[in-house]
Amino acid sequence: MDGGMDHDRLFRIMRRLALEAGAKIMEVYAAPDFEVRAKGDASPVTEADEAADALISAGLRAAFPEIALITEEQAATHTAQADRFLIVDPLDGTKEFVQRRGDFTVNIAYVEAGLPRRSIVYAPAKGRMFYTTPEGGAVEEDGPFDPARIGTQRPLAVSVPDNAALMVVASKSHRDAATDAYIGRYSVADMRSAGSSLKFCLVASGEADLYPRLGPTMEWDTAAGHAVLLAAGGSVVRFDDHAPLTYGKPGYRNPFFIAHAPGVTLKGR
């Protein structure tokens, strides 16, 4: 199912572009003030989003001109339909970025036949980088990160959860009563909040067992984290029927979903 994709080349290019975009984002983050504007849907956008998007999209288009590119910041890409595509959120967690909370990420993913197959999630302010390997495993690389040289990689694997004492991770910016009520159906030992796609990575690393999202998201918000979690042995399912969450949906909109280690006994609605 690799569609002829050179996964080693894809990995090297995604990693380099994520690191270069992260450096641009951190330049803006370090500035005493930066402009924040509202997009058409009232969500914030900054010069960091736009600089990272320009860098990543130019790099991917040059390297893979034959593969469709979907990116959050370019509305013209949101109508493309393809069996395989690259999907980018150049700065996921803009609210965290604006509030200088550090939980923002650079996300690049490759989707084929409805599933995210390869990806990178880089959190430059936290110094954490998660990705799928060319062979299809999932790792976290230890910093400092060198675009030209890969550092120490630690394999990721989901937890073997204790359903009587689950570790749950949920959104910092999007918690609501419905999410809290759903989490309340489980026996929770500890609850932590994290921004952006890091929540998928915490499940992938075994730091959390369950991440429910009862709110609107787009495929570029989730594809990269989803790929890392899949490669670590985890699952992401639709909230309504627990069927696998797939990609390439109309408008690239996601339904509510649950990301989890396979050992979690999922509750219904």
Domain-embedded: residue 268:
no
Domain-embedded: residue 125:
yes
For the chain, what is the domain count? 2
Among 135, 155, 175, the domain boundary falls at 155
Token digits for 57?
């999209």
Sign of CA dihedral 1, 266, 226, 216: positive
Domain-embedded: residue 1:
no
Domain-embedded: residue 256:
yes
* pLDDT at 106 (0 to 100): 96
For residue 258, give the nearest of 154, 175, 179 by alpha carbon: 179
Assess whether 209 and 236 both reside in one domain: yes
* pLDDT at 47 (0 to 100): 78
Q: pLDDT at residue 1 above 60? A: no
For residue 190, give the nearest of 207, 215, 168 by alpha carbon: 168
Assess whether 12 and 141 both reside in one domain: yes
Assess whether 40 and 140 both reside in one domain: yes
Assess whether 35 and 56 both reside in one domain: yes
* pLDDT at 248 (0 to 100): 94
Domain-embedded: residue 265:
no
Domain-embedded: residue 68:
yes
Assess whether 121 and 39 both reside in one domain: yes
* pLDDT at 234 (0 to 100): 98
* pLDDT at 44 (0 to 100): 52
Q: How far apart are CA 97 and CA 257, in angstroms?
A: 24
Q: For residue 196, what pLDDT band results from cuts at 50, 70 and 90?
A: confident
Q: How far is CA 257 from the centre of its chain?
A: 14
Assess whether 48 and 147 both reside in one domain: yes
Assess whether 145 and 199 both reside in one domain: no
Assess whether 61 and 145 both reside in one domain: yes
Q: For residue 29, what pLDDT band results from cuts at 50, 70 and 90?
A: confident
Give the ranges where the chain is alpha helix by DSSP (H). Answer: 7-30, 47-63, 94-98, 177-183, 198-204, 219-231
Assess whether 177 and 144 both reside in one domain: no
Among 127, 155, 183, the domain boundary falls at 155
Q: pLDDT at residue 226 above 70? A: yes
Q: Which helix (H) or strand (E) holds 109?
A: strand 105-112
What percent of the chain is modeled with pLDDT above 70?
Answer: 91
Among 155, 175, 210, the domain boundary falls at 155
Mean pLDDT, range 38-67, rounded to an integer: 81
Structural domain that includes position 51: 7-155
Mean pLDDT, range 111-132, rounded to an integer: 96
- Averaged pLDDT score across all residues of the chain: 90
Domain-embedded: residue 171:
yes
**CATH number for the domain including 256?**
3.40.190.80
Token digits for 257?
């979903």
Assess whether 25 and 142 both reside in one domain: yes
**CATH number for the domain including 41?**
3.30.540.10
What lies within 8 Å, CB to CB, of 83 at 6+ separation is 3, 112, 113, 248
Q: pLDDT at residue 236 above 90? A: yes
Q: pLDDT at residue 42 above 50? A: no
